[in-house]
Amino acid sequence: MVSIDKQRKPPAHPFSKIPAIFMGNLQRSWATVLRMNLKRHWVGYAWAVGAAAACTFVGLVMYPRFDLVNVAMVYLLAVVIIALRFSRGPAIAASVLFVAAFDFVFVPPRGTFTVDDIQYLLTFAIMLSVGLIISRLVKSVRRQAAAQAALEIEAETERIRSTLLASISHDLRTPLAVMAGASSSLAESGERLSAAERHALAKSVFDQAQEMSEHVAKVLQMTRLETGAIKVDRDWASLSEIVGAVLARLGERMAAHRVIVELPDDLPLVRVDATLIEQALGNLLENAAKHTPPATVVRVCAQRRGEEVIVTVQDYSAGLSDRDLERVFAKFHRGSVEGAGAGMGLGLAICRAIVRLHGGQTWAERVPGGGTAFRFTLPLEEAPSAPLELASN
């Protein structure tokens, strides 16, 4: 009847659905609920049955010397334990089982479910109540703990979000302000400016736009790395090629520093996503350029150590504090001494995330003689055979 009703007129009001669902539920509720409950908590039910047997055994040992009340106490303890450990279903099952066992084995007349003395009914009621109360308490405590954990995660997400927003708004607003100012000067009083002034204004718009684009790309990249949206596309790559490409890409940003590249000639090929590793290395180099005075040396080197390759970008900064060394690769870490051009603190976190995706590690260490080495490792795989011509030539 319900189904005909449903066919004839599609639910005009959401409430019209409720009776149908409700009625359908009533018919299969008990069997289904019990089956599902059994399936989910079978361990708890097994424990209830096991505990009933164990308690009965203990009771039988106690019986000649102890009062019946004390035997009941053993069952009660077991109910409490089951209720604490498992959900309501097993607790109820345990209570019922224990009452039945207690009644059958110990309560006179023994060997039957008949009860001579009305007071044992009270024992049964108490046992069942204790089981229900405890399991209910446990449930609410668990729920509170889960809610607390969720709150903490939310607070942490919120903290990250607000830091992110703060850094975005700082790092994006400054270039935007420059761009708006410089371009409006050009638009409104361009003809009164000298060619050199016009050029300088236009150049600063371009530079700031590029910087902003870099920032946005980093935020996007970090988000994609964190959400696992990045697929690592591994292929054979040469570290010296990656270093060359990175230096070409960074161009002007590294121009103020003296970059020294030291790569052994027999450095093996690595199987990596070259685009990602180029980013990781680029971020390390940018970091070095940002945090050290111009004209100082930045050293890029790589060496093989066993089954991995260690890539190092070393600068000659004042050196980081122990705390900074530890935290420098964390997200939004900006260093204790913050400069104007400190950036968002995402570069090294992106580097770490990329290296992790490749199964490598990142760390920073002080170098004897001054400066900091930022290192990462890449696992080596067995190199494929070289093309034939190599042998003949």
In the complex, the residues that contact another protein under the rule CB under 8 A are 206, 209-210, 213, 217, 220-221, 233, 235-238, 240-245, 247-248, 261, 263, 269, 273-275, 278, 383-384, 386-387, 389-390, 393
- Residue with Cβ nearer another protein (252 or 322): 252
Name the token pair of 8: 């004839």
Q: How far is the CB of 378 from another protein (least distance, A)?
A: 15
Burial of 382 (0-12, 13-18, 19+ CB in 10 A): exposed
- Residue with Cβ nearer another protein (1 or 248): 248
Half-sphere exposure of 182 (CA within 13 A, CB side): 19
What length does the chain have? 393
Name the token pair of 111: 């060997």
Q: How far is the CB of 15 from another protein (least distance, A)?
A: 43
Q: How far is the CB of 241 from another protein (least distance, A)?
A: 5
Name the token pair of 315: 């600068």
Classified as helix, coil or strand, 327 is helix
- Residue with Cβ nearer another protein (97 or 274): 274
- Residue with Cβ nearer another protein (135 or 279): 279
- Residue with Cβ nearer another protein (5 or 241): 241
Q: How far is the CB of 191 from another protein (least distance, A)?
A: 17
Pick the closest to residue 93 from 101, 120, 58 (CA basis).
Answer: 101
In contact, 332 and 167? CB cutoff 8 Å: yes
**In degrees rounded to 5, what are phi and psi of residue 111?**
85, 5
- Residue with Cβ nearer another protein (111 or 384): 384
Sign of torsion over alpha carbons 87, 89, 93, 96: positive
- Residue with Cβ nearer another protein (49 or 261): 261
According to DSSP H, which parts of the chain are helical?
2-8, 18-40, 42-62, 68-85, 88-101, 119-189, 195-226, 239-250, 274-291, 322-327, 347-357, 389-392
In contact, 260 and 299? CB cutoff 8 Å: yes
Q: How far is the CB of 301 from another protein (least distance, A)?
A: 11
Let me know the angle formed at the C-alpha of 148 by 144 and 151, rounded to the nearest 5 degrees. 140
Q: How far is the CB of 388 from another protein (least distance, A)?
A: 10
- Residue with Cβ nearer another protein (116 or 235): 235
Q: How far is the CB of 265 from another protein (least distance, A)?
A: 9
Q: How far is the CB of 171 from another protein (least distance, A)?
A: 16
Lookup result for tokens 């059958």: 104
Amino acid at 199: H
H-helix or E-strand containing 305?
Answer: strand 297-305
Q: How far is the CB of 317 from another protein (least distance, A)?
A: 24
Alpha-carbon gap, residue 323 to 335, rounded angstroms: 9
Q: How far is the CB of 386 from another protein (least distance, A)?
A: 6
- Residue with Cβ nearer another protein (91 or 311): 311
In contact, 325 and 367? CB cutoff 8 Å: no
Alpha-carbon gap, residue 59 to 68, rounded angstroms: 9
In contact, 372 and 366? CB cutoff 8 Å: yes
- Residue with Cβ nearer another protein (4 or 187): 187
